[in-house]
Amino acid sequence: MSKLLEDAVGELSKLPGIGRRTAMRLALHLLRMEAADVGVMTGALDRFRNNIRYCSLCNNLSDEEICPVCADQTRDRNTVCVVEQVSDVLSIENTRQYRGLYHVLGGVISPMQGIGPSDLKIDLLLDNVRRGVIREVILAIGTTVEGETTQFYIARRLAEVEGIKVTTIARGIGFGDEIEYADELTIAHAIHNRTIVK
Amino acid sequence: MSKLLEDAVGELSKLPGIGRRTAMRLALHLLRMEAADVGVMTGALDRFRNNIRYCSLCNNLSDEEICPVCADQTRDRNTVCVVEQVSDVLSIENTRQYRGLYHVLGGVISPMQGIGPSDLKIDLLLDNVRRGVIREVILAIGTTVEGETTQFYIARRLAEVEGIKVTTIARGIGFGDEIEYADELTIAHAIHNRTIVK
């Protein structure tokens, strides 16, 4: 087998969710692309890996010292939404419903994986909150055991700070989901926290 | 959203079978890799795309003018196995059962996609066969309509050449497949071409 092909396939199959068969398919696809376009792609990946930074205020990915959200003076600086990871920011931004700031933890507390509170950007969040402009902290963290632990820990830390509201995003049956297939905890929670229609 | 991230995700999502969500997951994975390792990966892809060649004898991917299979003097030069694409060579090589040469067509005849016989390396195959060392041509092409058409066309062209045998790989029920789920044509073919056990 060609060494060049072997190297390309070997490297691609190091990516998560990409086995050797998929890696082979991707490598052969590169041959159908213009060489210049492959260069554009690999260049974008190298630039991303080498030049990306973390926003010094919210820990989101950023091209500059301060990310576009934190730098945007039209955003609501009284509200901060705490999320686990960068992709959560994008999911929420895509809704176009939220105009506050974000805070990216960079993970959740997981004793199994050796991730403690000090490995997450929780102190930075507390610093931001204590600076005194934030009035509400929305906790938008996943409902795994680790997520719940993290949420509990952050809520307790925030309890020390006077004059701020702490909320969590609503749990319930998702749009398009069938009640039949929802788990009991979710259904119980959805009934308990029902909203008034009329 | 960060421009660097947007560019990386945009480029990755141009690959087949990779949507924006998967592209995002892959891009974020790059941040967990060492920058040097990302460089090794992108370097391997660029080198592959820029330096790969097609073997001038069999049209397989190759680092040199002649591919390792054609260059290997221990292989059986009397037999050539005709396949649609490069990945088929690898599938057959992985069985370690075949010691002859290959011939990669680079596709199949498909009037729908505007691919005619002249777009495939059929003339090169005929040249190789006419050179006189080959005694058997094995047609190992898929059983799609296009594949069957291609096989029929090549068999007809090879009929002009004296003293060679032309075969196709056996069609039948695959190991691990249930007869129950096989289509009628395959079952009919498998019964018609049954092999003697005792």
Comparing CA positions, the residue from B63, B79, B2, B14 lying closest to residue A51 is B2
pLDDT value of position A178: 85
Check: complex ipTM more than 0.95: no
- Mean pLDDT in residue range A145-172: 92
* Position A170 pLDDT exceeds 90: no
Q: Which of A48, A51, A53 is the best mutation test for B, with the most CBs of B within 10 A?
A: A48
pLDDT value of position A73: 94
pLDDT value of position A179: 84
Which chain A positions have a beta carbon within 8 Å of B28's beta carbon?
Answer: 85-87
Q: How far apart are CA B58 and CA B124, in angstroms?
A: 8
From B21's Cα to the closest Cα of chain A, the distance in A is 9
pLDDT value of position B82: 95
Q: Which helix (H) or strand (E) holds B125?
A: helix B122-130
For residue range B38-90, what is the model confidence (pLDDT) as tens digits?
A: 999 999 999 999 999 999 999 999 999 999 999 999 999 999 999 999 989 98
Give me the helices (H) in chain A, please: 3-12, 20-32, 35-51, 68-71, 86-95, 122-130, 145-158, 184-192
* Position A1 pLDDT exceeds 80: no
- Asked if B103 and B58 touch (Cβ cutoff 8 Å), the reply is yes
- With bands split at pLDDT 50, 70 and 90, how would you rate the model's confidence at A128? very high
- Asked if B59 and B85 touch (Cβ cutoff 8 Å), the reply is no
User: Which value, to the nearest 10 degrees, does the dihedral of the CA atoms of residues A94, A98, A104, A107 take?
Assistant: -70
pLDDT value of position A196: 85
pLDDT value of position B56: 95
Q: Which of B31, B45, B50, B96 is the best mutation test for A, with the most CBs of A within 10 A?
A: B45
A115 by Cβ neighbours in 10 Å (0-12 / 13-18 / 19+) ranks as middle
Q: Which residues lie closer than 8 Å to A137 by C-beta, 6 or more apart?
A: A80, A82, A125, A129, A154, A158, A164, A165, A166, A167
Tokens representing A100 are: 């506050």
**The whole model's pTM is what?**
0.78
Q: Which residue has the tokens 């402009």?
A: A133
- In DSSP terms, A61 is beta-bridged to A54
pLDDT value of position B198: 81
| CB contacts < 8 A (A, B) | 142
From B151's Cα to the closest Cα of chain A, the distance in A is 23
* Position A187 pLDDT exceeds 90: no
- Mean pLDDT in residue range A124-141: 92
Tokens representing B194 are: 């049954």
Instruction: Please state the φ and ψ torsions of residue B78, each to the nearest 5 degrees.
Output: -90, -10
B95 by Cβ neighbours in 10 Å (0-12 / 13-18 / 19+) ranks as exposed
* Position A40 pLDDT exceeds 80: yes
pLDDT value of position A67: 95
Residues of chain B with pLDDT under 50: none
